[in-house]
Each structure stands twice: as C-alpha cells, then as structure tokens.
A and B are shown apart, each in its own frame.
Chain A
Amino acid sequence: MVRVESARYGLRGGLALEPSRPEPALPWEDAPLPPLLILPLQSQTGEALPPQVRVGERVLRGQCIARLPGPWDATLHASSSGVVIAIEPRPVALHAAIRTVPCILIRTDGEDSAIPHLPPCDPALMDRAAVLKRLAEAGVVGLGGAVFSTAAKLACAAAAKVDTLILNAAECEPHIHCDEALLAHQAERIAQGARALAAFLGKPQVLVGLKENFNPAPLVAALEAVGLDTARIVRVPARYTAGAEDVLIRLLTGREVPRGALPTDIGCVCLNVATVAAAGDALLRGEPLTSRIVTVSGPGLARAANLVVRLGTPAADLAAVCGGYTDQASQLILGGPMMGLALPDDALPITKASQALWVAAAVQLQAPQAIQPCIRCGACVEVCPVRLLPQQLHAYARSGDAAALEAHALDACIECGCCDVVCPSQIPLVQTFRDAKIQLAHAQGQDHRAAWLKGRFEAREARLAQLKALRENRHQSARDPLRREDPRERLARLKARRKTDGMPPEKGAP
C-alpha cells in the first residue's frame, strides 16, 4: 500500500498565491507541429554545443543534432522531422535571462518521422555507467525549470549513496499546471520512471511531495502497479516556495541542505515528476526528450490548455493553438508570475525549462518614483522562505558593505520574489540582490561567476531601457500594446544583445 500522509515538518515563510476559487482542470492536448523549430546550441552550463548537422540536411525526430562530449554528454535532439534551414543567432530564454545564441532552425515536413528507438536500458539489468550514459544521450534534464543534467545529478546521488529519492510534485507557482496535468493523465510514466531510478539508486525510500489540492489517486494506483508499494506520498501546503528544492526537502524529511552543499550531501536527491517521467522514457523505451508539457493560459488568450509541446516551438504557435490573443493581452510571461521571464516577443521558442506561458492582462509598469524608503516593517522577513533579513540585505547592498552581505548570507537567497511582492515601499528587492551578488562575486575574485550573473544584469538593463521607451511612447501606443515591431528596430536590438556567456542557474529554483 502506498501511504498518503500530511507533511510532518512545517513550511516557513512563503506566500499564499493560490486563486481563492479552485480553477477547473485545463484540457490536455497535443500541440500541432509548428512549421518552424528553434533549438538553441547552448548547454545548461552555458557551453556552446557543436552542431552535428549541416544547413540543408534532413533530420528525423529524436536524431541527435548537437553534442558536447564530456563526462555526461550534453545533447540536443531534433524534436520533429524536417530540414535544417539555418544555424544562426536567435534570442532564447536561457538561465533566467534572454540571450542571443546560435540556434538550429528546422523547417518541419509534417511527417514527424522518427529514428528507431534505442534498446531499453533498465537499471535493474544494466550497470550504472550505461544508465547514466543513456540519460545523457537522451538529453534528460530537470524539467522543473532548473534544467540541470539528470545524469550528473544521479551520478552524484549514486556516489553519495543517498537514502531518499524525492519526487517533486509541489508545483507552487500560480498559473503553472503542467505537473498537475502529468499526474492526472500520465501517472504511469512517473511511476515507471520512479521505479527505474529507485532501482538505479539501490532502492532508497521514495517520497513524493504532492501539492495538497492535487488528487493522489492516479499516482497511488500507478505506483502500486509498478510495485513501488513502500513509496510515501506526502501532501505539502499549496503555498508558494513549497516546491523549491531545498524547501521541499525540509518539508518532507526535516533535513536542511547546508549552505554551499548539495542535497546529496544530506542523503537526498530531488527530481521533478516530469523529469522522472522523461528519465523513464529514456531508460525503458529508449526515447530521447523532444517534448514537454506547457501550461498556456491567461486573460490575454481566448482559451487555456496544457499542451504537449515539441521543444523549439515558438510561443506564437502556442498562442495560436489557444485561440490567439484577446484585447487584454499586454505581457507575455514564460514561467510563473513570481520567477518567470517577460518575453519581448512571441517568436522566442519553448525550451526544456519552459513550464508555462502566461499572457497577462495588465502591464505592471512600476514608475521609479513609486519606490519609497524602507520603513523596516519586516514584512519581508516574515515571508522569506530561507530565513534571511531582506531589509538588512537591502541596506547593506545600498551601502556596498560586502562583509555584512556575506554575514547576512546573501548567497542563500533563492530569488523567489516573496519579499519583493510584500514590500509596502515597492523596493525592487530581488533586483537589488541580483546586482549585489554580481558585486560580491567580483569582490571575491569569482570573475567567471560574475560574468554569468552580469549577463542577467545586462539583459535586465536592456529590459529596463525598453520599459522606459515604452513608458515614453505610452500616449501613442497605450491603446495598442500589441504593436508590430519595425524590422530595423529588431535588427538593432538583436545586435545589441549579441552576447553568449553563461553559467549554471543556481540550485533551488522552484
């Protein structure tokens, strides 16, 4: 019997962001094949992926089109069949910033012909090296948003002999329902993946952190069907940041990941349910990762749906599947409202990190004069899930006090945005902390890390400049936020953005 229980350990801070009325479950559909696929040639660690195909070459679904050899190959697969029409720089949402990186452009042929599947690689029968190699070859990465290499994570877990495998089904940002949909429709894929990974890790205890308003029945049945009877489903509060890796580990086990360490150091490995399902596909069916579930919704769209989307599909195609934009559409957000990225246009493609596409109704333009002095009210302290003192960090960041910033553990900040949202003085705290992290990394001589952080900073500067321009043009364009962009403007913007540095995203992003 798979047990369903409530969390024994409490959740600190965070925000109740759930809508007051339960939303009806969204329809689950396969998105039609888009005419064009845009696949970025950059690995999760920011390294360029050498392409394995030439312009003009025909590719099949599941074919490896770029590979960076390493301890665990970083790989990229064609997500449908077609012809490579170009390899050129395109803006893509990568590592919490929009960067212009070389991309492979595939014009699909509509046949969706696939290469033959690889033979199964069941961890119960194969050795560890073969399993890790398969996961890397199949391009399996964390689908909860962090896109960290699953092979690397599991290698670390196996070396550390972890005793706990945690499946993250806490999905805590509002407007994201992709994991909920997966649990409702394809729980057996999750269960098969979980059984395979449990076998790989030497049968650890399996814990599922399930959001309390999700129905556990399909997952219970699926886990029992694959014989994972000892798994426990722990219901976690429907509260924002419950799904952040470190926070979820504490909720489920009471253990805290030490600062600067990894979950494997305390015997845990935590994987998103979608990642587990993708790992199961790769190991048991030999299928590489070529699609993901994306929640496409918002008042700016005619309807909402959970779509099974081919990686590389431009956002515009998904908006079209959902009936196109309404008059209210004024902002396009990739991800959730708390940590998502506002897209400058809908030509940007879906990547492995894209959980949701939200078309917001009102642009929350924040005029600079709205920022007021900190009154030390401490609202930020109450909501911080990692027990920081944001108002003190803000004061030290403004005065450039590096020692105090370190003493107050700026590095522990997960940039969840809770403090930002509750601040009565409208101080952009998260931005301040991002900037302070850059300064601190420079001061500590970690120039590589600083460069990566700076990439995000520059992307932000560009966004702010755009925002300013928008505000100035508001009297002309206020009635038509969906104005078409002049091709010359676009060219100038692309040139300004031609920057391709990168570093891994920080751990713990929910």
Chain B
Amino acid sequence: MTAFPTAPAPHGPHARAVGWVMAQVLLALMPGAVAALIVRGPGVAVNLALCLGTAYLCEAGALRLRKRPLGPTLRDGSVAVTGALIALSLPPWLPWALPVLGTAFAVLFAKHLYGGLGQNPFNPAMAAYAFLLVSFPVAMTRWPATAAAWDGALAWKAWIGADMAWDGLTGATPLGHVRTQLALTHTLFEIAEQGGPPGAQGGLLLNLAFGLGGLYLLARGIINWRIPLAVLGTLALCAFSFQVIDADRYPSALFHLTQGAALLGAFFIATDPVSASTTPGGRLVYGAGIGGLVYLIRTFGAYPDGFAFAVLLMNLAVPLIDRLTIPKPYGTPDDA
C-alpha cells in the first residue's frame, strides 16, 4: 500500500494572487505615468517618490501598531497602487508636505482605521485627494504652466513651500479654463476661436495613455467592463444631452471624455474593487452614479473636475446598491 498526502477539493492551483493583480495595475499605470511626466514635468516623479515612500512607511507603521505580519501585506502591492494613484492626481511641485500628508491620511485613516486591505468603505486615494483639496484649496488648484514646470529654481521654491512662487506662472486646466470662460458669458464657439483651452492636447494625451492602460486591464481580465463602461457611458450621455440642448454652453461628450480625470478615474479609480459595488447589476448602477455626478459637479458644481467627490459619494451608496441588486440565485422564480 502506498500512502499519499490529502487536501480538500478543489485540487487545482489558484489562478492569480492579489500581489499579481496589483502588479498588473501598476504596470497598466505606466503609460499614464510617462504621459504625465511629459505633460506636467519632473514634478510628477517627485510626487510619485514622495507618495510611494510615505505609503510604504505608513503601511509598515500601521501593521506594526496593529501587530500584523509585515511581509505578506507589504508584498501584495495594494499600498503602492494607492500611493501611485494619489501621486498621479496631484499637481506637480506641490509643497512636499502635501503629498506626504495626503498619502499618510489615505493609508492610516482611510485604510487601516477601517481594518486594512479589503475593509475600507472609501477609496483611499480619493479620500486623500478630497482631504487635500478641501484643506489646501489654493495649492491644490495651482497647476504650473508647462514652461514653469521645467524651471528648476521656481520648482524648488514652490516645492519647499515658499509662498507665491507660481505668481503669474500658473495655467488653468482645460476644464478650468472652459469653466471660467463660460462664467464670463463667453460661448464655446468663442473659446474655440481663441485657439481652444490651453493644455487641451496634454489632457488628451494623458487620457489616451490612461485609456491604453485601462484596455490592458480589461484584456487581462483584471477589471470588469461594467464599471468603466457605466462611468464613461453616463458621462458621455449627460454631456451629449446637454450639448443637444445648448451647444454654446455645454461642451461635447468627446471633450468630457478626454479631459480631466475621465479615463484615469473610469479605469483605475472607480474600479477599485474594495470600495465599489460587487454585484454585476450594482456595478452598472455604481458606475452610472459616478459618471452622472462627475458631469453635475463639472457643469454645475464648485470644482472644475469632480471625480474624487463623485467616487466618495457613490462609495457611501455601495451598501444600499449591493442590497438592492442581489442577483436571483438559480431556481428562484422571477416574482420572488
């Protein structure tokens, strides 16, 4: 007789680990990160270094305080994704304390206070972004003009927090520019006649790069199509409807889809599985809610872009959405 070791079924190897999933997400962020470096200058790399460093330090500290083993959690890469998403959302040459503060807030408050990986109700990166935007509104909305972003002396002054370093050298984002001009009762036609919003090409490049990464994630089956499609579809539908009503005052769907955080948000932020809805139907509702809120905030709200607030608001609604969209198990009558 020959003895063999036993194990419970199923006996196949597991398909993929969390660490592999997170590594794929980081890989998919690469085109976007390169595009951001080109468009926004070396400040992006500085932000990435600060955010990633802070993220790992805070994760290790929090695990230590919670008396959890460091190895497996630090290796799974989830905190690197959080850090990278924060860094890619921030303006370059932000005073150094802000990326550090924001990332620490994301990891310590938004993630570990709720119980760590898998337990956080809010997207940590967007919680950090909203926290910084509300606390430091001036610094967070100061995007250096492209030339200034490559000026070492100016950048250094701004980075160490010397006040007013950017005076006269900041440019509005395309979304912000259009918003300001519309508020001055200019029409979209007039804005276009003056050469269109400055930086629109950069915004387009960024969004295309993030879109490329998103398609990679879809192709590898890392993310499901439902959330990105619902976000972008709803955003486009809202924009198209308003454009039909008044093409002078409401920019096109294409403009909305290719500017601001549209594709980064749809593919990388709204799809954060932990804070998103998990039912197939719920994901459509959740994504549609984000797309609609983004349009509302961009068009009628107080900020030029609104991804962070839209995601956080829909995070709040997730328990309710999940409850209302439980699929009917096999064999449940339609009227049950």
Contacts and interface: CB of A to CB of B under 8 A. Distances in A.
Contacts of A85: none
Contacts of B69: 369
Given A373-B116, A483-B3, A389 B326 contact: yes
A256 B278 contact: no
A423 B273 CA distance: 13
A475 interface: no
B2 A346 contact: yes
A105 B11 CA distance: 31
A261 B330 CA distance: 12
A409 B332 CA distance: 10
Given A373-B118, A374-B118, A485-B1, A385 B7 contact: no
B20 interface: yes
Interface stretch (A75-83, A281-289, A332-340): A332-340
A interface, size bucket: 35 or more
B4 A382 contact: no
28 contacts: A257-B331, A259-B332, A261-B331, A316-B1, A316-B2, A330-B4, A330-B5, A338-B10, A343-B4, A344-B4, A344-B6, A364-B13, A366-B7, A372-B76, A375-B78, A375-B273, A376-B273, A377-B21, A381-B278, A385-B330, A392-B322, A409-B332, A421-B10, A421-B12, A421-B15, A425-B18, A464-B8, A466-B6
Interface in A425-461: 425-426, 428, 430-431, 460
A360 B13 CA distance: 12
Contacts of B276: 376
Given A342-B11, A373-B119, A389 B327 contact: yes
B9 A339 contact: yes
Interface in A388-430: 388-389, 391-392, 407-409, 412, 417, 420-426, 428, 430
A154 B14 CA distance: 39
Contacts of A407: 326
Contacts of A409: 329, 332
A430 B6 contact: no
A114 interface: no
A392 B278 contact: yes
Contact of A387 (B8, B13, B224, B328): B328
A204 B322 CA distance: 43
A246 B330 contact: yes
A360 B6 CA distance: 11
Interface string A333-361: 10001111111111100000000000010
A463 interface: yes
B333 interface: yes
Contacts of A246: 330-331
A342 B5 CA distance: 8
Contacts, number: 188
Given A386-B331, A428-B8, 20 more contacts: A256-B331, A329-B4, A340-B11, A342-B4, A360-B11, A369-B69, A373-B119, A375-B117, A376-B278, A377-B273, A378-B224, A388-B329, A389-B326, A392-B278, A407-B326, A424-B18, A426-B17, A460-B8, A481-B4, A482-B3
Contacts of A420: 10, 14
Main secondary structure of the interface of B (DSSP, over half): loop
A467 B6 CA distance: 6
Interface in A13-67: 17
Contacts of A347: 1
A159 interface: no
Nearest to A341: B9
B67 interface: no
Interface in B1-45: 1-18, 20-21
A385 to B, nearest CB: 7
A417 B10 contact: yes
Q: Which 3 A-B pairs have the closest CB atoms?
A: A417-B10, A373-B118, A386-B330
Interface string A244-278: 00110010000011110100000000000000000
A325 interface: yes
A365 B4 CA distance: 13
Contact of B279 (A258, A337, A385, A389): A389
B1 A381 contact: no
A422 B15 CA distance: 5
A381 B280 contact: yes
Interface in B268-327: 273-274, 276, 278-280, 283, 322, 326-327
B72 interface: yes
Contacts of A464: 8
Nearest to A369: B72
Contacts of A339: 9-10
A17 B283 CA distance: 27
Nearest to A483: B3
Contacts of A363: 5, 7
